[in-house]
Copies of this chain bind each other. A is one copy, B any other.
Amino acid sequence: MPKISHKGVEMPSSPIRKLVPFAEKAFNSGKRVFHLNIGQPDISTPDSALEAIKIFDGHVLEYSHSAGFESYRRKLADSYAKSDIHVTHEEIIVTTGGSEALIFGFLATCNPGDEIIIPEPFYANYNAFAVTAGLTVIPVGSSIESGFALPPIEEIENKISSRTKAIVICNPGNPTGYLYSKAELEKLSTIVKNHDLFLFADEVYREFCYDGAVPFSVMNLKGIEENVIMIDSVSKRYSMCGARIGALVSKNKEVLAAVLKFGQARLSPPTIDQIAAEAALNTPQSYFDDVVAEYVERRNILVNGLNKLPGVFCPMPRGAFYCVAKFPVDDAEKFCQWLLEEFDFEGDTVMMAPANGFYSTPGAGKQEARLAYVLHKDSLTRSIEILKKALEVYPGRTN
């Protein structure tokens, strides 16, 4: 029997994968499990998108252009302009989800063996995309005490070697919800310029910024236009994760040409889903106002509730719909498993994502877990009650 590849062995599993069997057992034993572990919003997909799917009247479900339908790219460019991001449709390549945009971006810019610097904790699949492209992730630590702000510039520069090819950020951040300020991004810009690196920014949560915060896109950093690659997706924006429509945006023509070749090889992104994504661009601002208001309430219930629990600390995120909290426990992964396997409060329990999966430094984030506030407010209130009771009796409690 032939051996599988090193990459096949090295590909990381999702941070919650190990817990899934315990969640299934909990469910099968009759427990009600509140899933704080995943970022699948319960928010409705906009009617315009759902309607566009229903009225599709083609007779042949044909390929689109490998870079995506031109009509979609033109309207997408118009919609970016409303967020003060100014690009042409030729600077956009539509991809099959933001995931494909990152994979193509890595393949087109970095050679196997190159290093990419990522502030940790970070979206766990960045590790998987790095393995796919043969890259080494060099983490630079941000701390929960500072609310996961950008680490000091010197710490990032210390990580730069002759193999460093790119810096990757997610803004607003998954899993932290942290929103980088313009000043922080300008600091990054200086490093990127001085060391001639690419800067990848995953901005798929742009619409989810709270407390009046206005996100600043890397596309507006002056002087590094050729270095910047923005990753986008309709998944979270329009609660249409299942459409698998993303985009890679850049002013760098060489990068665009190389990415397009990867796009041509896989022929095209899905057709109907692009039609739905194009229609979703007609979604009125009131939809986002409602969704943001809803997420703010959910965030406040969850984060304020967590901070009221003795020994728990959770910085208040200003974007996305996740938070990372530190628990007074020996090991958050054990705690999460115990919640599913051994605990319930009146038949209820919660599932969280242990944060160690979001760090690539061994041992980092051991007491932390990521919680998504994509559930109804009542479920979040109940989840806080459950966690309160759980922490009172968890045998591995530390303080």
Q: What's the Cα separation between A286 and B220 when bound, in Å?
A: 57
Q: Are A61 and B258 in contact (CB under 8 A)?
A: no
| A242, CB-defined interface residue at 8 Å | yes
Closest beta carbon of chain B to A211's beta carbon, Å: 26
Q: Which of A291-309 contact B (CB under 8 A)?
A: none
- Residues of chain A from 191 to 245 with CB closer than 8 A to chain B in the complex: 196-198, 226-227, 239-244
Interface window among A2-10, A346-354, A359-367: A2-10
Residues B261 and A2 in contact, CB atoms below 8 Å apart? no
Instruction: Report the interface size for chain A: residues with CB under 8 A from the other chain.
Output: 80
* With A128-B261, A244-B270, A258-B5 as contacts: A41 and B60 at CB distance below 8 Å: yes
- Please measure, in the bound complex, the distance between the C-alpha atom of A31 and the C-alpha atom of B5, giving whole angstroms: 51
A276 to B166 Cα, complex, angstroms: 39
Q: Which residues of B contact A49 (CB under 8 A)?
A: 61
With a CB–CB cut-off of 8 A, which chain B residues contact A42?
Answer: 60
Write out the residue numbers on chain B whose beta carbons fall within 8 Å of the beta carbon of A273.
Answer: 270, 272-273
Which A residues lie at the B interface, using CB under 8 A? Answer: 1-2, 4-9, 11-14, 17, 40-45, 49-50, 53-56, 58-64, 96-97, 99-100, 103, 107-112, 114, 125, 128-129, 132, 134, 165-166, 196-198, 226-227, 239-244, 252, 254-255, 258-259, 261-262, 264-273, 276
Provide a sorted-by-A list of 28 A–B residue pairs whose CB atoms are within 8 angstroms. A1-B226, A1-B252, A2-B196, A2-B198, A4-B254, A4-B258, A5-B108, A7-B107, A7-B108, A8-B254, A8-B255, A11-B261, A40-B62, A44-B59, A44-B60, A50-B56, A50-B59, A60-B240, A96-B96, A97-B267, A99-B266, A99-B267, A112-B134, A129-B265, A132-B262, A242-B271, A243-B272, A272-B272
